[in-house]
Amino acid sequence: MTEELIFLKVKLNIQLLLLRIKESREEIERKHPERTDLIKSMKESQDDLTETLSFWMIVTDELRTAHRTLHTTQTQNIELIGKVAELKKINERLMNDANI
Protein backbone atom coordinates (compact mmCIF):
# COMPACT_ATOMS: atom_id res chain seq x y z
CA MET A 1 0.00 0.00 0.00
CA THR A 2 1.40 3.40 -0.93
CA GLU A 3 2.10 6.03 1.67
CA GLU A 4 -0.72 8.23 0.36
CA LEU A 5 -3.25 5.39 0.71
CA ILE A 6 -2.09 4.65 4.25
CA PHE A 7 -2.59 8.32 5.21
CA LEU A 8 -6.04 8.31 3.64
CA LYS A 9 -6.96 5.06 5.46
CA VAL A 10 -5.91 6.51 8.83
CA LYS A 11 -7.88 9.70 8.16
CA LEU A 12 -10.98 7.69 7.23
CA ASN A 13 -10.60 5.51 10.33
CA ILE A 14 -10.48 8.59 12.55
CA GLN A 15 -13.52 10.06 10.79
CA LEU A 16 -15.42 6.79 11.13
CA LEU A 17 -14.61 6.51 14.83
CA LEU A 18 -15.64 10.12 15.33
CA LEU A 19 -18.97 9.47 13.61
CA ARG A 20 -19.60 6.31 15.65
CA ILE A 21 -18.99 8.10 18.93
CA LYS A 22 -21.16 11.02 17.88
CA GLU A 23 -24.05 8.76 16.87
CA SER A 24 -23.75 6.68 20.04
CA ARG A 25 -23.63 9.80 22.22
CA GLU A 26 -26.67 11.27 20.50
CA GLU A 27 -28.57 8.01 20.97
CA ILE A 28 -27.70 7.93 24.67
CA GLU A 29 -28.77 11.58 24.97
CA ARG A 30 -32.16 10.64 23.48
CA LYS A 31 -32.75 7.40 25.33
CA HIS A 32 -30.92 7.97 28.61
CA PRO A 33 -30.41 11.70 29.15
CA GLU A 34 -29.75 11.06 32.84
CA ARG A 35 -26.43 9.35 31.95
CA THR A 36 -24.56 12.64 32.00
CA ASP A 37 -21.34 10.93 33.08
CA LEU A 38 -21.34 8.77 29.95
CA ILE A 39 -22.51 11.62 27.72
CA LYS A 40 -19.78 13.89 29.05
CA SER A 41 -17.10 11.24 28.56
CA MET A 42 -18.22 10.55 25.01
CA LYS A 43 -18.34 14.27 24.20
CA GLU A 44 -14.77 14.62 25.48
CA SER A 45 -13.70 11.66 23.33
CA GLN A 46 -15.44 13.22 20.36
CA ASP A 47 -13.62 16.52 20.99
CA ASP A 48 -10.30 14.68 21.32
CA LEU A 49 -10.86 12.87 18.02
CA THR A 50 -11.83 16.12 16.30
CA GLU A 51 -8.56 17.63 17.51
CA THR A 52 -6.66 14.52 16.40
CA LEU A 53 -8.23 14.70 12.95
CA SER A 54 -7.30 18.38 12.64
CA PHE A 55 -3.73 17.60 13.65
CA TRP A 56 -3.61 14.68 11.19
CA MET A 57 -4.74 16.98 8.37
CA ILE A 58 -1.99 19.48 9.24
CA VAL A 59 0.66 16.77 9.40
CA THR A 60 -0.33 15.23 6.06
CA ASP A 61 -0.40 18.66 4.40
CA GLU A 62 3.06 19.42 5.78
CA LEU A 63 4.32 16.06 4.57
CA ARG A 64 2.97 16.68 1.06
CA THR A 65 4.67 20.07 1.02
CA ALA A 66 7.94 18.48 2.19
CA HIS A 67 7.67 15.83 -0.56
CA ARG A 68 7.13 18.50 -3.22
CA THR A 69 10.08 20.49 -1.89
CA LEU A 70 12.26 17.38 -1.83
CA HIS A 71 11.27 16.50 -5.39
CA THR A 72 12.08 20.03 -6.58
CA THR A 73 15.42 19.96 -4.78
CA GLN A 74 16.31 16.56 -6.22
CA THR A 75 15.45 17.76 -9.73
CA GLN A 76 17.60 20.86 -9.28
CA ASN A 77 20.42 18.72 -7.92
CA ILE A 78 20.34 16.44 -10.96
CA GLU A 79 20.41 19.48 -13.26
CA LEU A 80 23.35 20.96 -11.36
CA ILE A 81 25.28 17.68 -11.49
CA GLY A 82 24.87 17.75 -15.27
CA LYS A 83 26.05 21.36 -15.46
CA VAL A 84 29.07 20.61 -13.27
CA ALA A 85 30.00 17.72 -15.58
CA GLU A 86 29.71 20.04 -18.60
CA LEU A 87 31.82 22.71 -16.91
CA LYS A 88 34.48 20.15 -15.99
CA LYS A 89 34.73 19.15 -19.66
CA ILE A 90 34.98 22.79 -20.73
CA ASN A 91 37.60 23.45 -18.07
CA GLU A 92 39.57 20.39 -19.14
CA ARG A 93 39.53 21.54 -22.78
CA LEU A 94 40.59 25.04 -21.80
CA MET A 95 43.42 23.67 -19.67
CA ASN A 96 44.56 21.43 -22.56
CA ASP A 97 44.44 24.37 -25.00
CA ALA A 98 46.42 26.54 -22.56
CA ASN A 99 49.15 23.90 -22.31
CA ILE A 100 49.71 23.78 -26.05
Question: Cβ(25)–Cβ(43) under 8 Å?
Answer: yes
Please report, for the chain, the start and end positions of each structural domain, with discontinuous segments joined by +. 3-75
Q: What is the rounded distance in angstroms from the CA atom of residue 55 to the CA atom of residue 94?
A: 57
- Quick one: pLDDT at residue 98? 86
Instruction: Please state the three-class secondary structure of 63-76 as a single string.
Output: HHHHHHHHHHHHHH
pLDDT reported for residue 37:
95
Query: Is the pLDDT assigned to residue 2 strictly greater than 90?
Result: no
In the predicted structure, residue 1 carries a pLDDT above the cut 80: no
End-to-end CA distance of the chain: 61
pLDDT tens by residue, 49-100: 999 999 999 999 999 999 999 999 999 999 999 999 999 999 999 999 888 6
Give yes or no for a contact between 18 and 44, defined as CB atoms under 8 angstroms apart.
Answer: no
Closest CA to 53 of 66, 67, 29, 61: 61
Burial of 21 (0-12, 13-18, 19+ CB in 10 A): buried
Report if pTM > 0.85: no
The residue ranking higher by pLDDT, 7 or 86, is 86
Q: What is the pLDDT of residues 20-50, one digit of tens each?
A: 999 999 999 999 999 999 999 999 999 999 9
